[in-house]
């Protein structure tokens, strides 16, 4: 038996054991080629099959309409923070943001380097413990687009529903919740996500974008930073992160085998309920950070009575085989990341550990 940790890492994060085992089996000799994926040309028909196959599965599982392009890029979601305004923020227009927390803030700051920006709504006064009400979103008249962070990985908040922006393009950073639940992709002009939380390993960034938005990028932009370059070349303009794309393909097949994205949502609800119940039924021993209505299915943030107890919790959890429960340094406390690949058993074990810990240190 392989000894697998109860892995609650925030990212890179757990991958399904089945996916790792398949990758292991195919590692040295992929599909009878006598080579690993990492050793073959990205222009070979074998790799083209991997690239196209991952794209097709993503389209199928996420219900991506035909007028959208799917790109596999590098540089992480953080590069998209800059590429989006470089490509889509035209002079005289403003990039609007729903300011929900740490990642929204980073995206906003990067856009500010490029052009005019606006905060359309913020929950900063509440330390980002909630997603602002959709009715509080105020778009500037000259909005080029509205950017939202569908799941704030650090604060542990998640949009329950998405805003209607009419003619204004809606852009979603779904790095930490892509494919965790069904999404009406047609509401968005663009969705992007670093793969290393919900969709595979680090090294590849998924971009889903409506084709009319990326037909022509500003002429002055460097080739690699233009969406039209990657659209025209089917994400193969330069050497892609081939092994990462391959693993994303395996992960997508795993999601499909589990019943698809709706089944993933139910699975994620069932497993996070165990941990939220452990918080809510602790009589105040554990305190959830996020407002109940904004709770994330992907990152569960909570606090104990003192920092000393929180330290003790992390230490003891590690002795019991749990990994990654320390909260992000910027907000403190504790965080359990429960992405698609995190097994039900890990969440059950954590809920039980939380109960035991409270009894022992009550
Ligand atoms: C992790 C994360 C990012 C940054 O992703 P990189 O791939 O490391 O650049 C951006 N947005 C959100 C919501 C994240 O969780």
254 is catalytic: no
Q: Is 94 annotated as a binding residue?
A: no
What pLDDT sits at residue 362? 85
Nearest to 54 by CA among 292, 186, 242: 242
pLDDT of residue 201: 97
What pLDDT is attached to residue 331? 85
* For range 298-327, the mean pLDDT: 97
The pLDDT value recorded for residue 329 is: 86
Write out residues with Cβ below 6 Å of ligand 1: 11, 76-78, 103, 149, 153, 173, 175-176, 194, 197
Does residue 2 surpass a pLDDT of 80? no
Q: Per residue in 65-97, pLDDT tens? A: 999 999 999 999 999 999 999 999 999 999 999
C-alpha of residue 304 to centroid of ligand 1, in Å: 27
Which of 9, 102, 103, 331 for a ligand 1 pocket mutation test, highest count of atoms within 8 Å of Cβ? 103
- Asked whether the predicted pLDDT for residue 262 surpasses 60, the reply is yes
**For residues 79 and 226, is the Cβ–Cβ distance under 8 A?**
no
Supply the residue whose CA is at minimum distance from atom 12 of ligand 1.
175
State the average pLDDT for the chain: 97
The closest residue, in CA terms, to atom 7 on ligand 1 is: 76
pLDDT at 258: 97
Per CATH, domain 18-257 is 3.40.640.10 = yes
Domain map (residue ranges) of the chain: 18-257, 259-361
> Are 170 and 49 within 8 A, CB to CB?
no
Strand 287-288: give its sheet, edge to edge.
287-288, 299-303, 334-337
Give pLDDT, residue 304.
Answer: 97
C-alpha 238/C-alpha 126 separation (Å) is 44
Distance of CA 106 from the midpoint of ligand 1 (Å): 9
Active-site residue, selected from the candidate residues 69, 197, 271, 326? 197
Would you say residue 18 has pLDDT above 90?
A: yes
pLDDT of 250 over the 60 cut:
yes
Residue 254 labelled as part of a binding site: no
Range 312-321 average pLDDT: 98
Question: What share of the chain in percent tops pLDDT 90?
Answer: 97
Q: Which atom of ligand 1 is nearest to the CA of 149?
A: 13
Buried (b) or exposed (e) across 223-247, using 16+ Cβ within 10 A? eebbbebbbeebbeeeebbbbbbbb
Average pLDDT of the segment spanning 170-199: 98
pLDDT band at 279 (very low <50, low <70, confident <90, very high): very high
Neighbouring C-alpha atoms within 13 Å toward the C-beta of 77: 27
Q: pLDDT tens digits, residue range 132-165? A: 999 999 999 999 999 999 999 999 999 999 999 9
Ligand 1 centroid distance, CA of 175 (Å): 6
What confidence tier does 9 reach under pLDDT thresholds 50, 70, 90?
very high
Does the pLDDT value for residue 350 go beyond 70?
yes
- What's residue 3's pLDDT? 87
* Secondary structure in 3-state letters for the chain: CCCCCEECCCCCCCCCHHHHHHHHHHCCCHHHCCCCHHHCCCCCHHHHHHHHHHHHHHHHHHCCCCCEEEEEECCHHHHHHHHHHHHHCCCCCEEEEEECCHHHHHHHHHHHHHCEEEEEEECHHHCCCCCCCHHHCCCCCCEEEEEEECEECCCCEECCCCCCCCCCEEEEECCCCCCCCCCCHHHCCEEEEECCCCCCCCCCEEEEEEHHHCCCCCCCCCHHHCHHHHHHCCCCCCCCCHHHHHHHHHHHHHHHHCCCHHHHHHHHHHHHHHHHHHHHCCCCCCEECCCHHHECCCEEEEECCCHHHHHHHHHHHHHCCEECCECCCCCCCEEEECCCCCCHHHHHHHHHHHHHHHHHCC
- Residue 59 marked in a binding site: no
Q: What is the average pLDDT across 216-239?
A: 95
Distance CA 123, CA 290 (A): 11
Q: What is the pLDDT of residues 94-136, one digit of tens each?
A: 999 999 999 999 999 999 999 999 999 999 999 999 999 999 9
Name the residue at shortest CA distance from atom 1 of ligand 1. Answer: 175
Q: Is 103 marked as a binding-site residue?
A: yes
Give the separation between CA 71 and CA 77, rounded to whole angstroms.
Answer: 13
Q: Can 103 be counted among the known catalytic residues? A: yes
Mean pLDDT of 274-280: 98
pLDDT at 252 over 70: yes
Q: Which of 175, 196, 198, 207 to mutate to test the pocket of ligand 1 (most atoms within 8 A of CB)?
A: 175
Distance 84 CA to ligand 1 centre (A): 14
Catalytic residue among 69, 173, 177, 271: 173
**pTM of the predicted protein model:** 0.98
Over 60: is that where the pLDDT of 1 sits?
no
pLDDT of residue 242: 98
| Backbone φ, ψ for residue 171 (5° rounding) | -120, 130
Does 280 show up as a binding residue in the annotation? Answer: no
Active site residue 356: no
Q: Residues 229-244: what's their mean pLDDT?
A: 97
The CATH architecture annotation of domain 259-361 reads: Alpha-Beta Complex (3.90)
Put residue 183 in one of left, alpha, beta given phi > 0 → left and psi -120 to 50 → alpha: beta
Q: Using CA positions, which residue lies closest to atom 13 of ligand 1?
A: 175
Count CB neighbours of 298 within 10 A. Answer: 28
- Rounded to whole angstroms, the Cα distance separating 121 from 162 reads 13
Residues 6+ apart with CB under 8 A from 241: 72, 74, 203, 204
Residue with the larger pLDDT of the pair 215 and 338: 338
User: How high is the pLDDT of residue 330?
Assistant: 82
């Amino acid at each position: 038996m392989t000894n697998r940790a109860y892995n609650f890492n925030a990212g890179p994060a757990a991958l399904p054991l089945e996916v790792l085992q398949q990758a292991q089996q195919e590692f040295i000799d992929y599909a009878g080629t006598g080579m690993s994926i990492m050793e073959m040309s990205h222009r070979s028909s074998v790799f083209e099959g991997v690239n196209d196959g991952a794209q097709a599965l993503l389209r199928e599982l996420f219900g991506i309409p035909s007028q959208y392009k799917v790109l596999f890029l590098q540089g992480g979601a953080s590069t998209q923070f800059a590429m989006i305004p470089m490509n889509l923020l035209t002079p005289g227009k403003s990039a609007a943001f729903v300011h929900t927390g740490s990642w929204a803030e980073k995206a906003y700051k990067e856009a500010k380097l490029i052009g005019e920006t606006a905060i359309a709504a913020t929950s900063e006064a509440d330390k980002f413990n909630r997603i602002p009400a959709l009715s509080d979103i105020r778009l500037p008249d000259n909005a080029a687009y509205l950017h939202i962070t569908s799941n704030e990985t650090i604060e542990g908040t998640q949009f329950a529903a998405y805003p209607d922006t009419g003619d204004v393009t809606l852009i979603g950073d779904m790095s930490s919740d892509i494919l965790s639940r069904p999404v009406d992709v047609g509401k968005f002009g663009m969705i992007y996500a670093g793969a290393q939380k919900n969709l595979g390993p680090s090294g590849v960034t998924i971009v889903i974008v409506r084709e009319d938005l990326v037909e022509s990028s500003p002429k002055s932009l460097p080739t690699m930073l233009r969406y039209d370059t990657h659209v025209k070349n089917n994400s193969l303009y330069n050497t892609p992160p081939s092994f990462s794309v391959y693993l994303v393909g395996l992960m997508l097949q795993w999601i499909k085998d589990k019943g698809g994205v709706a089944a993933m949502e139910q699975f994620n609800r069932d497993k996070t309920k165990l941990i939220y119940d452990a918080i809510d039924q602790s009589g105040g021993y554990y305190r959830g950070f996020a407002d109940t209505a904004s709770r994330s299915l992907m990152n569960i943030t909570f606090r104990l009575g003192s920092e000393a107890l929180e330290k003790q919790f992390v230490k003891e959890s590690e002795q019991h085989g749990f990994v990654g429960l320390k909260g992000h340094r910027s907000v403190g406390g504790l965080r359990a990341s429960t992405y698609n690949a995190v097994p039900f058993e890990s969440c059950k074990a954590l809920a039980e550990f939380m109960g035991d810990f409270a009894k022992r240190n009550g």
